[in-house]
């Protein structure tokens, strides 16, 4: 019985090995492919990371070089020659360009550049909001008072990073429209907000007093 059992065990083990090798021959390529995909994916991610960092560095260097040009016209030309790779980078570039255009007394061009950022849905929201705010507060804006009011109301919604600054602009529009009571009420709401900065609080207080209001209820 002992020899028989030993023979049976050997045969069984041999069958198992044959099945194992057969399975490896049949399906082993799947495991190899999996390893290749994992290693290749990791290498590609690392490559992309290096490429993105290099692009960001090149973009920053190009902006620095442009802003170091000796005169405004040269800075504008250098900024216009930069090609950003990402929508966010394009937004930053255009807002810098608008600033230089404003310095060069190209107010209409600066406003148009800002509006192009504000209307680009591919650009991150915060950049669109900043560009919209700057365009609406530009002295060269062609928007009517009602259009500006609607724009600032959009920026004054809860959660907006520019909420309080937009509220201030709405108060200024009330003053422009001759409704000083409404302006004072908006300014007092700004004063009561815990997120109001020191500078904004000072401006609101000064406006309230200059409009004939009192600060004791603010």
Has residue 152 been placed in a domain?
yes
Terminal alpha carbon distance of the chain:
104
Has residue 2 been placed in a domain?
no
Question: Do 127 and 120 meet the contact criterion of CB atoms below 8 Å apart?
Answer: no
Quote the percentage of the chain above a pLDDT of 90.
Answer: 48
Has residue 154 been placed in a domain?
yes
Could you list the residue range(s) of the whole structural domain that residue 181 is in?
A: 143-218
Has residue 161 been placed in a domain?
yes
Give 142's pLDDT tier (boundaries 50, 70, 90): confident
Has residue 155 been placed in a domain?
yes
Has residue 98 been placed in a domain?
no
Has residue 179 been placed in a domain?
yes
Has residue 210 been placed in a domain?
yes
How many domains in the chain?
A: 1
Give 129's pLDDT tier (boundaries 50, 70, 90): very high
SS3 for 175-198, per residue? Answer: HHCCCHHHHHHHHHHHHHCCCCCH
Give the CA dihedral 126, 135, 67, 52, nearest 10 degrees.
30
Question: Do 173 and 151 meet the contact criterion of CB atoms below 8 Å apart?
Answer: no
pLDDT tens-digit map of 27-48:
555 555 566 667 776 776 776 6
């Amino acid at each position: 019985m002992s020899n028989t059992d030993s023979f049976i065990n050997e045969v069984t083990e041999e069958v198992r090995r044959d099945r194992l090798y057969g399975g490896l021959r049949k399906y082993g390529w799947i495991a190899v492919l999996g390893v290749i995909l994992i290693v290749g994916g990791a290498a590609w991610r690392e490559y992309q990371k290096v490429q993105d960092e290099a692009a960001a560095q090149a973009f920053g260097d190009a902006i620095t070089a442009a802003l170091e040009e000796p005169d405004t016209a040269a800075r504008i030309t250098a900024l216009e020659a930069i090609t950003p790779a990402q929508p966010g980078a394009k937004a930053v570039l255009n807002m810098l360009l608008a600033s230089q255009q404003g310095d060069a007394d190209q107010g209409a061009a600066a406003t148009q550049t800002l509006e192009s950022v504000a209307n680009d849905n591919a650009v991150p929201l915060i950049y669109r909001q900043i560009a919209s705010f700057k365009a609406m507060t530009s002295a060269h804006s062609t928007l009517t008072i009602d259009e500006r009011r609607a724009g600032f109301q959009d920026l004054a919604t809860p959660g907006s990073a520019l909420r309080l600054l937009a509220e201030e602009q709405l108060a200024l529009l009330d003053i422009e429209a001759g409704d000083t009571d409404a302006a004072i009420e908006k300014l007092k709401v700004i004063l009561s907000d815990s997120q109001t900065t020191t500078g904004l609080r000072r401006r609101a207080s000064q406006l309230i007093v200059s409009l004939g209001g009192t600060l004791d209820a603010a």
